[in-house]
Chains A and B, each alone.
Chain A
Amino acid sequence: QKEVEQNSGPLSVPEGAIASLNCTYSDRVSQSFFWYRQYSGKSPELIMSIYSNGDKEDGRFTAQLNKASQYVSLLIRDSQPSDSATYLCAVNRGPAILTGGGNKLTFGTGTQLKVEL
């Protein structure tokens, strides 16, 4: 079983729709979770971080965490063609506040999102 699993896609959504990206993780002690966006040929860019169960919203993005189900998701509302990219889910065993970046991130394989006109 992979530590962090994502559907590779591609996930195609029409412009203006909601894109839903999902991620599951195997390590129950994981405490901090991140979503990165990666455009082709570019390095990953942090979109969202989430540490507590429930929803966290930032603009058009909402991250959802369910630790009991070991499940993280990212919703993108009003999807735009510029959102077309690969979205990487990443998990850290440590709490980010205490970690200070001292723990490593484990990445999923990423989901390719295509937003079509």
Chain B
Amino acid sequence: SAVISQKPSRDICQRGTSLTIQCQVDSQVTMMFWYRQQPGQSLTLIATANQGSEATYESGFVIDKFPISRPNLTFSTLTVSNLSPEDSSIYLCSVGQGDSGYTFGSGTRLTVV
């Protein structure tokens, strides 16, 4: 299965600033998925990133707050903008590979102060 390198692993950010999270995959994949996991909660899909087109956002998530880039088939970034304490979460990228299921990056733990 694919190996995903995600960074940073954690960060503490000031209110009103932004954080950009990067995911690098060791193989080419059509779609990458960005999830959020709030404390004690399950995973919620933020958006699906397809190379060469705009990301598709789930209900409750908007591009201005969570801009995504997907410049090629192995890389994607998620930016969390205009940070507030409510954005403190773990952010995860994921890719799927047919019967191999879906693999996750190691996650980014964001704390907003």
Q: Which chain A residues have a beta carbon within 8 Å of chain B's beta carbons?
A: 34, 42-46, 49, 88, 90, 96-97, 99-110
Contact = CB atoms under 8 A, between A and B. Distances in A.
B102 A46 contact: yes
A49 B101 contact: yes
B66 interface: no
Interface of B: 1, 29-31, 33, 41-45, 48, 92, 94-107
B104 A100 contact: no
A43 to B, nearest CB: 4
A115 B98 CA distance: 32
A34 B96 CA distance: 12
Contacts, number: 64
B10 to A, nearest CB: 10
Contacts of A46: 1, 100-103
A99 B96 contact: yes
